[in-house]
Amino acid sequence: MTVRPAARAAELREQLKQHDYRYYVLDEPSIPDAEYDRLMAELRALEAAHPDLVTPDSPTQRVSGTPSAAFGEVVHQVPMLSLDNAFSEEDLAAFDRRIHERLEVQGDLDYVAEPKLDGLAIAVIYRAGRLEQAATRGDGVTGEDVTANVRTVRSVPHRLRGRVPPLIEARGEVFMPLKGFERMNARARERGEKVFVNPRNAAAGSLRQLDPRVSAARPLDAFFYGLGVLDGAPLPKGQAELLDWLRALGLPVSPDTRAVRGVAGCLSYYREMAARRRSLPYQIDGVVYKLESRADQERLGFVSRAPRWAIAHKFPAEEALTVVRDIEFNVGRTGALTPIARLEPVFVGGVTVSNVTLHNIDEVHRKDVRVGDTVVVRRAGDVIPELVSVILDKRPMKAGRRTEPQSRQVELPARCPVCDSLVLRVEGEAVARCTGGFTCRAQRQEALRHFASRRALDIEGLGDKVVEQLVEHELVRSPADLYSLTAEQLAGLERMGEKSAANLVAAIDRSKDTTLPRLLYALGIREVGEATALALARHFGTLEALMKAGEEEIQQVEDVGPVVAAQVAAFFASVDHTNVIKALRKKGVKWPEVARAPAGAGAALAGRTFVLTGALGSMTREEAEEALTARGAKVSGSVSKKTSYVVAGADPGSKLARARELGIPVLDEEGLRALLRGG
């Protein structure tokens, strides 16, 4: 579809005006800066190609900034200019080349490199060393009088120091340091007040507060980097000298400015600042290079609104707009369903992003992300890309309707997109999981690994690497398939000799003689650990009895609540699972009936959690763990507030210290034995 240039230009102008209004008047920007820049660049390109389309009120014809009528106006005696941008090394090289050509010089040029602070430009006039007036940049010619507010910025001196000129206008940037920004937003959130989207908007909003007392409470800071009018003192010979002088007058100057030589020097500064960007206490969106020599600056002069002797080298934009093509659910190795937004590929933070995780269904609903939505995507540094927000204004609406969106809210699928098993979500938990276990391709590997693990069917030699290959080559789909594997098949796997293949076949064969608690644990039913498996086995006696039981009956088992009962019932409701059990039996896997015990018996330590540290003298750690779990206790690897006891043997590790810190009872070996005896 081609849009007529005139129509497109009008559309762009209207959009830019809307954004300007939201940005400058409401302090509520609705799109990322980079998107604004893109709209502006498109309009500029259109107007360059069709000069007759330029209107006097086009946003391209003025420098941004609409002075608010609420503040007094200040006309800048020396206009406040803007900077051209370089987005690549080529742009920078071209800038340097143009200077060489204009000045007709050769060899590396001297520059001063500075951080490009992400705040807002101000001009502060000192007469006889006293702060007289402070103004925003406004449209570059006329700004707002923000003297009362700037006076509240701690780092801006009310009086200059040393030998002061009769009149000096210092120019710089007011910004909000990150710490202050976060603190301020946290407080605003607590009170249910408006939070600022970023430190720059917070700085702008704070400086343009009508009540200076409000401004004073905002954590603003400033750095100076330039000069407006100057009276009664010689102009510094270059940018480095100017910065030194400003410092000497008591004005804050960034500690990160540096004299550099040639394009190579500029680039190494750029890389260094890009690397430090995340650890700086304030936000920067790039660096600025300024030709050192003032005489050369004057010879070069300006083009439209920007000097020819300086350029901003921007870091890749960290936020961009794109469209959500689809929202899919990914099934992980543990069965967790993770919603993923498939995006129209977009270049952001230096890479192309086409997928972002939405973490869980609550997050999808909180952000109200839908298919077809235009969204803000952010990738800062090496951080994983994230979907920041939805631009609701851009949500596609039904034809002829203003308020009825085409899209519907995303729902959690009732069945697994990979294996069609039921999806269950434990109440109070964010994650939803597929109940498929080893019948689900996505979970097969994890499920088999679990099935073979020591406390399950204990198949020695069936390690992660082997399981991985068995699943990959589709030699094993369910645990029952393990019992058909031949030594020849196994010997064909990577890093598997004939001897170990034969050993593994023997180990698989040995595992056929098992127990009901081990089998129940091995099946990998969600929420069913060793203690629960034991309790279920003792309560029902046989697998058949458990499989026939309804949720309510399962809840009769000691320590089994509705959450566990639902998982167990859902597991056995699946035909795939009952087929696996049948197949296991057919292959000769046996588990004798368990003597049914009245509730509570044998589970003397149910509900307790133990952590073992250090070596025990009379038993191995495994034996201790087995003895504990057989009595219904849980054994965990790390100490937390939930730990009931820490058992400390010889040479205990940091777990003991942690237990003392948390005031958790510590048992020695004798204490453990007494507890196991029931004494």
Determine contact, residues 628/673, Cβ cutoff 8 Å. no
Query: Which stretch in 104-112, 113-121, 380-388, 573-581 sits in contact with ligand IVH by CB under 6 A?
Result: 113-121
Q: Which is nearer to ligand IVH, 213 or 237 (CB)?
A: 237
Query: Which stretch in 69-77, 78-86, 99-107, 211-219 sits in contact with ligand IVH by CB under 6 A?
Result: 78-86
652 belongs to the binding site for ligand IVH (CB under 6 A): no
**Burial (Cβ within 10 Å: 0-12, 13-18, ≥19) of residue 651:** exposed
Q: How far apart are CA 350 and CA 541, in angstroms?
A: 61
**To the nearest whole angstrom, how small is the minimum distance from the Cβ of residue 104 to ligand IVH?**
23
Residue 135 forms beta bridges with which residues?
123, 145
| Catalytic residue check, 394 | no
CA angle (203, 206, 209) in 5-degree steps: 150
Query: Total residues contacting ligand IVH (rule CB under 6 A)?
Result: 15
Determine contact, residues 356/408, Cβ cutoff 8 Å. no
CA angle (444, 448, 451) in 5-degree steps: 140
Q: How far apart are CA 237 and CA 250, in angstroms?
A: 20
Closest CA to 361 of 402, 324, 327: 327
Q: Which is nearer to ligand IVH, 124 or 364 (CB)?
A: 124
Closest CA to 604 of 623, 629, 635: 629
334 belongs to the binding site for ligand IVH (CB under 6 A): no
**To the nearest whole angstrom, how small is the minimum distance from the Cβ of residue 286 to ligand IVH?**
8
Q: Which is nearer to ligand IVH, 84 or 527 (CB)?
A: 84
Query: Which stretch in 77-85, 127-135, 200-208, 657-665 sits in contact with ligand IVH by CB under 6 A?
Result: 77-85
260 belongs to the binding site for ligand IVH (CB under 6 A): no
173 belongs to the binding site for ligand IVH (CB under 6 A): yes
Which of 17, 116, 499, 641 is catalytic? The answer is: 116
Contact positions with ligand IVH (CB under 6 A) in 289-318:
307, 310, 312
CA 526 from centre of chain:
28
- Kindly tell me which residue out of 76, 116, 313, 539 binds ligand IVH, with binding defined by CB under 6 A: 116
Determine contact, residues 169/227, Cβ cutoff 8 Å. yes
Query: Which stretch in 4-12, 26-34, 76-84, 648-656 sits in contact with ligand IVH by CB under 6 A?
Result: 76-84
CA angle (600, 606, 607) in 5-degree steps: 135
Half-sphere exposure of 90 (CA within 13 A, CB side): 0
Closest CA to 536 of 514, 525, 552, 520: 520
Per-position x/- string for 127-156, each x denoting binding to ligand IVH as judged by CB under 6 A, each - no binding: ----------x-------------------
121 belongs to the binding site for ligand IVH (CB under 6 A): yes
CA 221 from centre of chain:
27
Residue with smallest beta-carbon separation from ligand IVH = 121
**To the nearest whole angstrom, how small is the minimum distance from the Cβ of residue 82 to ligand IVH?**
5
83 belongs to the binding site for ligand IVH (CB under 6 A): yes
For 427, list phi and psi in degrees, rounded to 5: -60, 135
Determine contact, residues 79/140, Cβ cutoff 8 Å. yes
- Kindly tell me which residue out of 36, 71, 95, 225 binds ligand IVH, with binding defined by CB under 6 A: 225
Catalytic residues: 116
Binding site for ligand IVH (CB under 6 A): 81-83, 114, 116-117, 121, 137, 173, 225-226, 288, 307, 310, 312
